[in-house]
Chain A
Amino acid sequence: MNLALVSIVAVALAFDFFNGFHDAANSIATVVSTRVLSPRLAVAWAAFFNFAAFLIFGTAVASTIAKDVVDQRVLTNPVIFSGLVGAIVWDVITWYLGLPTSSSHALVGGMAGAAVGSAGWHALIASGLQKIAVFIVLSPIIGLLLGFSILVLVYWAFHRSRKVHRLNRGFRRAQLVSAAAFSLGHGANDAQKTMGVILALLIANGVVGKTASVPLWVVLSAHTAIGLGTLFGGWRIVHTMGSRITKLNPVAGMSAELAAAVTLFFTAHAGIPVSTTHTITGAIVGVGTTQRLGAVRWGIASRVVWAWVLTIPGAFVVAWLVFQPIRAL
C-alpha cells in the first residue's frame, strides 16, 4: 500500500471515530436519561457493543456505500479524500452547534459532492441514492411506529400488575439489554459505512478486486474506531436526544431502544445505510406519543428535522469545494 492510500485510510478511520463521537452518543441517550446507567458506564456499555457488532452482522451496508452510491470508475483517492473531509467538516459544524444530524448522510453527501466535482452528475448511481433517500424518510417512521407499538403492548401486558416497584426494576434491567441491542445495530450500520469507504479505496488502488468482500482488518479497525469514538462521546447531543425531545421512564426508554434496534438490524441485514440518529429520534417520538402528541417537544424535533434536511446538501457542497483545489494540483 502506498503512502497516499494509508493516509486516506487513516482519514476514513478518523471519520469513523468522529461518527462514534458525534452519532454514537445516541446509543446511550435513553439509558442515561432514565438513569439506568451513569453516563460513564453507559458510554463503556455502548462502545463495547458497537465493537461486538462485527461478530453478528455481515457487510451489506459497506458494499452499498462502496459500490451503489458513486460510479466506481470515478472513485479515486482525491475524490474519496474530499468526500471524507466534506463529511468530517459537516459533522464538526453540527457537533459544535449541538445538532443531532446524521454522519451517514454526511458521508453519502460528501462522496456525492466530490464525485460530481470530479466527473459531473452522471457519476452518481440513481438506484443506490434512491434507496438511501427513501429510507431517510422511512427509518424514523418505522422507529416511531415500532416504538409506539412496543410500548402500548408492554403497557397492555402489565397494566393489571400492582407491583409497580418490582416492574420498574425489571424494566431498568431490560433497558440494559435494549441499549446493548441498539448499540449493536448502531455499530453494524455506522462502522460499515467506513468499511465501505475503505473498500472503495482498496478497489480504486487495485489492492483488492472489484467483487471482493471487506477484508477482516478493515472490519476490525472500523469497529475499533467507532467504539473508541463512542468512548470519548459527545455529551451535548446526548442531552438533546435523551431529555429534551420527550421525558422518558425506563419502560419507555426500553421500548424506544428496542424499536430502533429492530429497525437497524433490518437495515444492516438489507444493506441500507440509514441514520441511527433518525431512527432513535423517531422511536423516542413514538414512545412520547403514547401519552399524547403534546408530550413531544415538536420545536426541538423540527430543529432536528431541519438538520437532517440540510445534511446531504451541506456535506455535498463542502466536499465539492474541497475537491476543487485538489483537482487543480
Chain B
Amino acid sequence: MGAGRRPLFFFALGLICLLLAPVTPGEFRWVNYSMFGLALFWTIALGLEEVGNLREGEGRNRDGG
C-alpha cells in the first residue's frame, strides 16, 4: 500500500468506530464518536497533504519542462 492510500485507511478506521456505535453500551459510545472524529481529522489532513504533494509535483514538472 502506498502513501496515497493513508486517507482511505484512516477513513475506514473511523467508519468501523462509527458502525460499532449502535452495539456499544451507551456509557462508552463517546469513545466511538471521538475516535471517529480523530480518524476523520487525519483523513482530511492526510488528504490535503496528498493534494499538496501532487500539486508540488506537477509544478516541478512544469518548471522542469
Query: Which A residues are closer than 8 A to B by beta carbons?
Result: 127, 130-131, 134-135, 137-138, 141-142, 144-145, 148-149, 266, 270, 272, 289, 292-294, 298
Contacts and interface: CB of A to CB of B under 8 A. Distances in A.
Given A134-B23, A149-B42, A293 B5 contact: yes
Contacts of A135: 28
Given A134-B24, A148-B42, A293-B1, A141 B35 contact: yes
Given A130-B25, A145-B35, A292 B3 contact: yes
Interface of B: 1-3, 5-6, 9-10, 13, 16-17, 20, 23-25, 28, 31-32, 35, 38-39, 42
B20 A138 contact: yes
Main SS class of interface, B? helix
B39 A145 contact: yes
B13 to A, nearest CB: 5
A266 B35 CA distance: 14
B13 A145 contact: yes
A130 B22 CA distance: 11
A292 B35 CA distance: 21
Contacts of B35: 138, 141-142, 145
A138 B25 CA distance: 13
Contacts of B2: 292-294
A68 B2 CA distance: 43
Contacts of B25: 127, 130-131, 134
A290 B1 CA distance: 13
A46 to B, nearest CB: 27
